[in-house]
Chain A
Amino acid sequence: MSDADPAAPDPVEAVEPERLHDVPVVGEAGARVLFPARDELVAVVTALFEDGFLMCLDLTAVDYLVHPGRSLPAGVSPERFELVVTLISHRERERIRLRVQVPTDDPSVPSLFDLHPGTEAMEREVFDMFGLTFTGHPDLTRILMPEDWVGHPLRKDYDSGRIPVQFKGAPTAP
């Protein structure tokens, strides 16, 4: 539990971060975090797949709208959204995390579905909750919220607490 914060290199030193598959990586073995750019994501995940990271455990996102000052390795500029992908290598018994910066004016990410079909539901959930779109996803629809829902509830600027409970087709008050 000593490496409590793998994502916090000393900002004063600003050393050139280590690189794995040509993207910055921080953290020790076993708790490494990669910071690929959006267009590098599929290539990096493919390279990691060949390294033995065969399973995509988790895919989620974070909206850093009201917490922009997080520490990132040199060369990675913070954006509003961050896609967080967790892969696991059963052979090396190691998890690896990828954090992808996604800008707010073009919130689209290439889908990992072709490599990891198990990301289908998770990408749908991120689309539903954060409004990030996944190019190449076979069925990008809402998964948890009703189909006709407007907005993405886990965004930090989502107007929570003001929406009455809605039921599809329920009679409205006169």
Chain B
Amino acid sequence: MTTTDDTMSGEEHLSEDPSLTSEGAQSLAPRDVTAAVERMRELGAVLRMAESDAAGQVADGPVDDGLDAASIDETMIINLGPQHPSTHGVLRLMTELQGETVLRTKPIVGYLHTGMEWTGEELTYLQGCTNVTRMDYASPLFSELAFSLTVEKLLGVEIPERATWIRMLMTEMNRISSHLLFMATNGMDLGAVSMMLYGWREREETLRFLERVTGLRMNHNYIRPGGVAADLPDGWRDDVLRLLEMLPPRLDEYDTLLTGQPIWRERLQGVGVLTAEAAIALGATGPILRSTGYAWDLRRDMPYLAYDEVDFNVVVGTYGDCFDRYAIRLNEIRESIDIVAQILDRMPKGDYRVQDKKVTPPPRARINESMEALIHHFKIFTEGFKVPEGEAYCAVESPRGELGCYIVSDGSAHPYRMHIRGPSFVNLQTLPHLMHGGLIADAVAVISSVDPIMGEVDR
């Protein structure tokens, strides 16, 4: 087996004299006083092996990797995915098993890689949203929001109040639909297939509202630098009210169907446990971090848009297990419903995009009567607008955690570099640690509870 020297020395001490390792004191320290970061390396939860080597190992039979002596002839490496519905897209896991126990795991990603960061450099700032919206396809408005906020920071424009509140309304709706998707797939992954139908049904209702406003169910390209693409349609308030009325009783049905169910609880409680220290060390954000009892939500702690003006709770777990992550997402839907209700009362009147001729195309009606407006419209959609030189990072709390956008501008109409910090990409690193020591049957529960969206992982 080919691993780097570092890893070997980290694992060999399990069977050899600890004083011989190059890892210093960590192998000698008792488990309860070892820092979580060190313990993680000691566990060796991440399988470090090239794909080709693994293929050879599978053909050759048992793996000798310096685990304890009894396990040497019992471990085997199997592949999960990439083609399996429960791997949420095309995630492949190379898993080392000892009997039914998972030892080490290596997530293999990149099957959906289409070079979207590179594409982002080719598109203008105005077109950029059409690109980023396709990354996290379950919550596209958040990528658009992070991108738009970053561009606005570089431009130095302040968006109108109504645009801010429309953005909040739409992203909270999107959070609801994204979490409902999780409810559906999480149920399906664990055999509660009826849950899939219910989750999908409610998600579709939410998407119907998004479609009424943006014209599309997904990949909206609705939030753009300078505001939003269009004002809310007539009757939006009734649509929202209908949803606010319909959703809470349905969520209570989920409680009846899943939360209180002994089978459901047995299946999730104590499975895939993560400590707060490990989550922070691994850079995990969102429900995964909050499930460990660490109350960190960008909406409350580093407010963007107008989240400092609405009232909501940050839902945290206690044990950091799959059940906590499920319960957090379920209750975050309730909090989002609460936020949406407040937005309904607070929605201000005014412009839905900034009236800055540099950034905003002229309204459709003006184009028919004004030559200048036509030229302006043509110029802004063919050449785009120039953004001052500089670099900026903005982040929002997506349903999966901190979704950040880093843009470097060289003063032209295209980003010089556009980078998206996808929460799924970083959160995926918790998988080996969540699965380590668990049963292979629980692997699906763990993958599901991390809720990775592969479009965002691979970009």
Q: Would you give the shortest CB distance from B261 to chain A, in whole angstroms?
A: 34
- Interface residue? B282 (CB, 8 A): yes
Q: In the complex, are the beta carbons of B110 and A118 less than 8 A apart?
A: no
The CA of A6 and the CA of B419, in the complex, are separated in Å by 18
Tell me the dominant secondary structure on chain B's binding face. Answer: mixed
Q: Would you give the shortest CB distance from A113 to chain B, in whole angstroms?
A: 9
> Which of B251-259, B374-382, B420-428, B442-450 touches A?
B420-428
Given the known A-B contacts A118-B283, A121-B426, are A4 and B117 also in contact in the complex, defined by CB atoms under 8 Å? no
Given the known A-B contacts A1-B158, A93-B301, A117-B282, are A138 and B48 also in contact in the complex, defined by CB atoms under 8 Å? yes
Q: In the complex, are the beta carbons of B389 and A86 less than 8 A apart?
A: no
> Which of B165-173, B208-216, B343-351, B403-411 touches A?
B403-411
Interface residue from A118, A144, A160 paired with B109 (Cβ < 8 Å): A144
The CA of A11 and the CA of B50, in the complex, are separated in Å by 48
- Interface residue? A101 (CB, 8 A): no
The CA of A93 and the CA of B296, in the complex, are separated in Å by 10
Q: In the complex, are the beta carbons of A1 and B153 less than 8 A apart?
A: yes
Which residues of chain A are within 8 angstroms of B157 by Cβ–Cβ distance?
1
Q: Would you give the shortest CB distance from A108 to chain B, in whole angstroms?
A: 15
Which residues of chain B are within 8 angstroms of A138 by Cβ–Cβ distance?
4, 6-7, 46, 48
- Interface residue? A8 (CB, 8 A): yes
Q: Would you give the shortest CB distance from B159 to chain A, in whole angstroms?
A: 9
Per-residue CB contact flags for chain A residues 1-24 toward chain B (1 = under 8 Å, else 0) read 110111110000000000000000
Interface residue from A1, A60, A67 paired with B406 (Cβ < 8 Å): A60
Q: In the complex, are the beta carbons of B421 and A58 less than 8 A apart?
A: yes
Interface residue from A60, A84, A121, A145 paired with B113 (Cβ < 8 Å): A145
Q: In the complex, are the beta carbons of A90 and B429 less than 8 A apart?
A: no
Q: Would you give the shortest CB distance from B12 to chain A, in whole angstroms?
A: 14
Closest to A129 in B: B117
Interface residue from A57, A117, A136 paired with B404 (Cβ < 8 Å): A57
The CA of A149 and the CA of B48, in the complex, are separated in Å by 19
Which residues of chain B are within 8 angstroms of A117 by Cβ–Cβ distance?
37, 40-41, 281-282, 429
Q: In the complex, are the beta carbons of A4 and B155 less than 8 A apart?
A: yes
The CA of A116 and the CA of B425, in the complex, are separated in Å by 15
- Interface residue? B152 (CB, 8 A): yes
Q: In the complex, are the beta carbons of B153 and A118 less than 8 A apart?
A: no
Which residues of chain A are within 8 angstroms of B103 by Cβ–Cβ distance?
none
Q: In the complex, are the beta carbons of A143 and B406 less than 8 A apart?
A: no
Which residues of chain A are within 8 angstroms of B189 by Cβ–Cβ distance?
none
Q: In the complex, are the beta carbons of B282 and A118 less than 8 A apart?
A: yes
Given the known A-B contacts A5-B389, A86-B421, A117-B282, are A58 and B404 also in contact in the complex, defined by CB atoms under 8 Å? yes
- Interface residue? B321 (CB, 8 A): no
Q: In the complex, are the beta carbons of A139 and B404 less than 8 A apart?
A: no
Interface residue from A6, A62, A141, A147 paired with B417 (Cβ < 8 Å): A62
Q: Compute the total of residue contacts between A and B using a CB distance below 8 Å.
A: 129
Q: Would you give the shortest CB distance from B204 to chain A, in whole angstroms?
A: 32
Q: In the complex, are the beta carbons of B283 and A5 less than 8 A apart?
A: no
> Which of B86-94, B217-225, B325-333, B390-398 touches A?
B390-398
Which size bracket describes the interface of A in this complex? 35 or more
Given the known A-B contacts A4-B154, A136-B6, are A118 and B281 also in contact in the complex, defined by CB atoms under 8 Å? yes
Given the known A-B contacts A55-B283, A138-B4, are A120 and B429 also in contact in the complex, defined by CB atoms under 8 Å? yes
- Interface residue? B359 (CB, 8 A): no
Q: Would you give the shortest CB distance from B2 to chain A, in whole angstroms?
A: 11
The CA of A95 and the CA of B115, in the complex, are separated in Å by 27
Given the known A-B contacts A58-B404, A144-B113, are A5 and B7 also in contact in the complex, defined by CB atoms under 8 Å? no
Q: In the complex, are the beta carbons of B416 and A62 less than 8 A apart?
A: yes
Q: In the complex, are the beta carbons of A116 and B156 less than 8 A apart?
A: no
Q: Would you give the shortest CB distance from B76 to chain A, in whole angstroms?
A: 21
Q: Would you give the shortest CB distance from B70 to chain A, in whole angstroms?
A: 26
Q: In the complex, are the beta carbons of A57 and B302 less than 8 A apart?
A: no
Q: Would you give the shortest CB distance from B13 to chain A, in whole angstroms?
A: 15
Q: In the complex, are the beta carbons of B110 and A144 less than 8 A apart?
A: yes
Closest to B110 in A: A144
- Interface residue? B458 (CB, 8 A): yes
Q: Would you give the shortest CB distance from B310 to chain A, in whole angstroms?
A: 18
Given the known A-B contacts A90-B301, A117-B282, are A143 and B426 also in contact in the complex, defined by CB atoms under 8 Å? no
Interface residue from B7, B296, B392, B426 paired with A118 (Cβ < 8 Å): B426
Which residues of chain B are within 8 angstroms of A154 by Cβ–Cβ distance?
117-118
- Interface residue? A119 (CB, 8 A): yes
Q: In the complex, are the beta carbons of A4 and B283 less than 8 A apart?
A: no
Q: In the complex, are the beta carbons of B390 and A57 less than 8 A apart?
A: no
The CA of A5 and the CA of B152, in the complex, are separated in Å by 11
Closest to B7 in A: A138
Per-residue CB contact flags for chain A residues 113-142 toward chain B (1 = under 8 Å, else 0) read 011111111100100010000001011011
- Interface residue? A70 (CB, 8 A): yes
The CA of A71 and the CA of B390, in the complex, are separated in Å by 8
Q: In the complex, are the beta carbons of A160 and B118 less than 8 A apart?
A: yes
- Interface residue? B51 (CB, 8 A): yes
Chain A residues with a Cβ under 8 A of chain B: 1-2, 4-8, 54-58, 60, 62-63, 67, 70-71, 84, 86, 90, 93, 95, 97, 114-122, 125, 129, 136, 138-139, 141-147, 153-154, 160
17 A-B residue pairs with CB within 8 Å: A4-B153, A5-B388, A5-B390, A6-B392, A60-B419, A62-B416, A67-B408, A70-B389, A95-B395, A116-B281, A118-B281, A118-B429, A121-B426, A125-B425, A144-B458, A147-B50, A153-B118
